[in-house]
Amino acid sequence: MEDLTQEEWASQLASDDNAVVLDVRTDAEVAEGIIPNAIHIDIFKGQGFIYAVEELDKSKNYYVYCRSGNRSGQACSIMNQLGFENTYNLEGGMMQWTGDVVEKE
């Protein structure tokens, strides 16, 4: 897991052809808007979160975010324990995000 600043995260994501953006917030938080092309798996789903994450492609690079950066850090740790090698936590989360936000489809 690597903690990246907002600038590092956005810059690295933009140049990564193997990237997946993962939103680990609650449904209510996601309803306020998500980063474009993000997939949503709520970390508060507990074992359900683990089951959903285990379905993901471990060869991808995961850019993980939440509201403030705490839950996404936990999600990165869990993912690393499950065998994901490349996880990047967005420091400051959506509270500090200045990039694009879209409504969840």
Catalytic residue numbers, as ranges? 66
**Concatenated DSSP letters of 6-20:** HHHHHHHHHT-TTEE
Alpha-carbon distances, residue 54 vs 46, 57, 92 (angstroms) = 13, 8, 26
User: Measured between alpha carbons, how far is 105 from 33 in angstroms, rounded to an integer?
Assistant: 10
- Continuous segment of H or E residues that includes residue 80: helix 70-81
Beta bridge partners of 21: 63
